[in-house]
A and B are shown apart, each in its own frame.
Chain A
């Protein structure tokens, strides 16, 4: 996928330096790039979040086509060569202009309440006459109670009424038979929601929200991938070679079972999605463990969640095995006199792991009994960077809040009420409905709305339940209580390899069929097929106008990699020649560089034209047109900017406005691709990503691709990628709107 993006950018970047036939050092700005980094559009507001459900539009022409070739220059052509570097590399080489999103215009998004209202109506039940009579009796009793109630109880009820009025709740309160009792007495459980430590913890967690690990944020670029039909042409071209060292991954789709072990009776998805009807991490986490005869469920739940985080965030293998015993030995006991085989909590384990570290199972094997703590057994980096309770009102999050936590952070720990029936569960959906106090800790890994159930991982070995798992009805036996997530300490990414050469792509924008010759200086320092000379052999190719090719050696069919090359060509009719680099080296890799994959350089055969306008001039034209509502003119300007100034600091902004102006013109296919290019190429955390993703989703929805649209709306809504609150609301509403679609908008839910 990244290769595809690079390809698009290579294609669009080749026009950047028509004025001079030169080569550009990797990472440097083009010679005619603006000197300053301050974007002239500093106060440019983003468009307001538009509601989904624009009218379906016919799919426009394939947008991946290269920009139109510039007109032929008077007096014939001369060689023009450009190296367009990997966009990410280029972007990191310069300071990024940051549009001020504080000035975003945010009118209220249109609410898509119709489906919700409908459901509400279905759930509404008219009270019977008998019930109404009973209610009147109760209300009279409560009123009498209130008259006789002590002052603190009266005050408490009055405060509750004030809160009801403030929040426009629809229920009433009175002095009942339990009003004088503490909540802990009534429920049997202390009110952890008001535990100052928990409140402080959640406040701190929210404060760190912007910086913590979020799995959706990790996947923004992958999740943004539009349907395969948008990409097929380019991917087919990239895969036409032998694939060696190819960075092409192709489009990803939902429903892929990561381990390739088929549908084992539970849903799986490559893309986590809080609005999916079913989802499970089961295929992507460690195997089920066995706690044995020790009340260490809390340690197993915490370890299971941490292991999942290590896998999902730090790319550890699913065989990673962390030591529950280390937690049993080392986590402070819950209260004086208790011991860790007699209960504790997963969140206590998180507190221990926050700043501390777990050990590997091989270092501290499980004993099913408490042993002395060896804190030095903790392995470096196997700790918790951050943790928090799901939802805004712990310890009782809503189903949606738990789903959101599952998606944003991976599997979550949860308390549950275990009974003998629970112990004997073998299959099906467990729905005992026991209301006793929670006493067991488990891991929630997914859900299935069709079952109305969470996918629960227990620590009683694979011999229990469905291979160690259970489907448990939402809310039954208090499942979901104390649901908590973690973000593991991030492992430093592996160092990128170093290369001293690049692939070579030839791009023919001359308007004529060309016969091209290449001699290349390999990274090993030898010329292939021969050192340049008047009579030396060369690799030769035929290049049709408007096409590009990834150069292969014609002797061994491998993609050509080179640190320098001699490149020359002539038109079929022999009237035009490109010879600037026949006698001089075209430098491809001036120095070794470090990158995830070997980069690609493009040699461009084009017409000569002078740079009629600077980057500032073009951008200003686009800005002026955009603000005046002249979308066609804005599109033309930003397209030109993107084509010619791919290394400019404003390139991501330009691509956003290009896509947006196309969206405004209902050119949804073009808009999708422009915005996808922007989202994919912008560095992680770029402030334009939420907006580009939003309007890409809008464009996809307009084309009926609702699965892809929803995935991108989810990124905006749940990805914690810096989306302003109003845009989050708009994205969530659009998800609901699309999910409630009766077919008038959506034609593809892949």
Chain B
């Protein structure tokens, strides 16, 4: 049952993420300046084109109510692991979409196992502070312990 719900959620999220050309080469976190970069993600279903992008090293984010921003975490969907968003105060910050973007190396004809990014899109809802907690876990079986964790503090103001 849990798995089915997960599939349904994933399917919904993927659908909402469509729109950009999925074959365009994605940008990497190395291109993302501290504090976010509105041009960083333009690829595969990046849910909020034009939104600020925050890389893995981000510790804190300042956002205004109504603003959409992205947290982009390096990963590899061809391994058993995924980045998962665990919790937040939905009244302050809510996740509106997430997806995965391939990042194949150059001349990758026929290569497999290349890396990518897990992209999470949030919208600041109201004044306040919230913690965004991400964990790097095996997708299956459910309940696998986290291999890595990451927390970002978000401060939302008008």
Contacts and interface: CB of A to CB of B under 8 A. Distances in A.
Given A189-B109, A297-B112, A424 B104 contact: no
B79 interface: yes
Nearest to B23: A188
Given A297-B78, A335-B105, A192 B138 contact: no
Given A334-B111, A346-B112, A420 B23 contact: no
Contacts of A291: 79-80
A342 interface: yes
A422 B78 CA distance: 9
A290 B138 CA distance: 11
B79 A344 contact: no
Contact of A337 (B6, B79, B106): B106
A334 B109 CA distance: 9
A437 B110 contact: no
Contact of B147 (A293, A343, A424, A439): A293
Interface in A395-422: 395, 415, 418-422
Interface stretch (A456-464, A555-563, A605-613): A456-464
Given A343-B111, A439-B113, A463 B141 contact: yes
A345 interface: yes
A293 B7 CA distance: 23
Interface string B1-43: 0010011001100100000001100000000000000000000
B115 interface: yes
B105 A337 contact: yes
A347 interface: yes
Given A420-B77, A420-B100, A439 B112 contact: yes
Contacts of B110: 190, 192, 345, 347, 395, 415, 482
B113 A441 contact: yes
Given A297-B78, A426-B140, A439 B109 contact: no
Name the interface size band of chain B: 35 or more
Interface string A425-442: 110000000001111110
A296 B115 CA distance: 11
Contacts of A744: none
A423 B105 contact: no
A641 interface: no
A439 B105 CA distance: 11
A692 interface: no
B11 A295 contact: no
Given A195-B109, A344-B113, A440-B113, A423 B139 contact: yes
* Interface residues of chain B: helix, strand, loop or mixed (majority): loop
Which of B99, B102, B144: most chain A Cβ within 10 A? B102
Given A295-B79, A334-B107, A426-B140, A419 B112 contact: no
Nearest to A341: B113
Given A424-B139, A441-B113, A290 B10 contact: no
Contacts of B116: 439
Contacts of B111: 298, 334-335, 338, 343-345, 348
Contacts of A149: none
Contacts of B105: 334-335, 337-338, 342-343
Contacts of A436: 22, 44, 102
* Interface residues of chain A: helix, strand, loop or mixed (majority): loop
A294 interface: yes
A343 B140 contact: no
Which of B100, B113, B140: most chain A Cβ within 10 A? B113
Given A188-B22, A465-B140, A421 B10 contact: yes
B108 A335 contact: yes
Interface in B141-156: 141, 144, 147
A295 B107 contact: no
A292 interface: yes
Nearest to B147: A293
B140 A439 contact: no
Interface in B80-139: 80-82, 99-100, 102, 104-116, 138-139
A343 B115 contact: yes
A438 B77 CA distance: 12
A395 B76 CA distance: 24
A295 B22 contact: no
A439 B114 contact: yes
Contacts of A460: 79-80, 138, 140
A295 B113 contact: yes
B113 A298 contact: yes
A158 to B, nearest CB: 28
A423 B109 contact: no
A482 B102 CA distance: 19
Nearest to B98: A420
A418 B140 CA distance: 14
B77 A423 contact: yes
B3 A424 contact: yes
Contacts of B7: 421, 424
A295 B76 contact: yes
A641 to B, nearest CB: 56
Contacts of B113: 295-298, 341-344, 439-441
14 contacts: A189-B109, A295-B115, A297-B113, A298-B112, A336-B106, A343-B115, A346-B112, A419-B14, A422-B77, A436-B44, A460-B80, A463-B138, A463-B144, A464-B138
Given A298-B112, A335-B106, 20 more contacts: A195-B109, A290-B80, A291-B79, A297-B113, A334-B107, A336-B106, A338-B111, A345-B110, A420-B10, A420-B77, A420-B99, A421-B7, A421-B11, A426-B3, A426-B141, A437-B102, A439-B113, A463-B138, A463-B144, A464-B139
Q: What are the 9 closest A-B residue pairs judged by CB atoms, nearest first?
A: A343-B114, A295-B113, A190-B109, A423-B139, A188-B23, A460-B80, A338-B105, A441-B112, A343-B113
